[in-house]
Amino acid sequence: MLLSTVDDTRDFGRRLAAVLRPGDLVLLTGPLGAGKTAAAQGIGAGLGVRGPITSPTFVIARVHQGPVPMVHADAYRLGDRPDPRAEIDDLDLDASAEDAVTVVEWGEGLAEQLNDEYLQVRIDRRDDDTRAVDLVPHGGDWEARIKDINE
């Protein structure tokens, strides 16, 4: 799917939130400036979480309270260890995973271990500033849950 503006990216996140439930893991991948945080803002708005959603790059992870809480993490600065997946373990993100939707920016190759079933959202920023979004389901009922979002 193609998204023309940052607002379209947030709207996409709201639509995605409609199919999310506690225990879900969503990995947002793409280059700098692709729109990962804008998508996370839309997901948070769709889940009804309180407070602003900003990039957690410097705090690594935040918990946003709401009817369905959202754990928002950023793995961009991780990777100083020989096995950067150990750093994900140290964040203890799975402690609230059953009760919240966990959204991880830059999590590809690191955060998949948090859940056997997850959704990867690939966002690519094109030269004309549109965003190409590809939803990649991994296990579970993700494929059925996201089919209407792709249309």
Residue in 2, 32, 5, 27 with CA at minimum distance from that of residue 138: 27
Q: How confident is the model at residue 149 (pLDDT cuts 50, 70, 90)?
A: confident
Query: What pTM did the predictor assign?
Result: 0.82
Per-residue pLDDT tens digits for 10-47? 999 999 999 999 999 999 999 888 899 999 999 999 99
Q: Alpha-carbon distance 74 to 13, whole Å? A: 17
Mean pLDDT, rounded, of the chain: 80
Per-residue pLDDT tens digits for 81-138? 445 444 444 444 444 557 889 888 866 555 555 678 999 999 999 989 899 999 999 9
3-class SS of residue 100: coil
Give pLDDT, residue 71.
84
Residue in 16, 11, 24 with CA at minimum distance from that of residue 101: 24
Give pLDDT, residue 51.
82
Q: Alpha-carbon distance 66 to 119, whole Å? A: 21
Residue partners of 139: CB distance under 8 A and separation at least 6: 116, 117, 118
Q: Which amino acid is at 81?
A: R
Which residues share a beta bridge with 53? none
63's enclosing H/E stretch is: strand 61-64
The residue written with tokens 């990995």 in the block is 27
Strands 25-29 and 70-74: unpaired
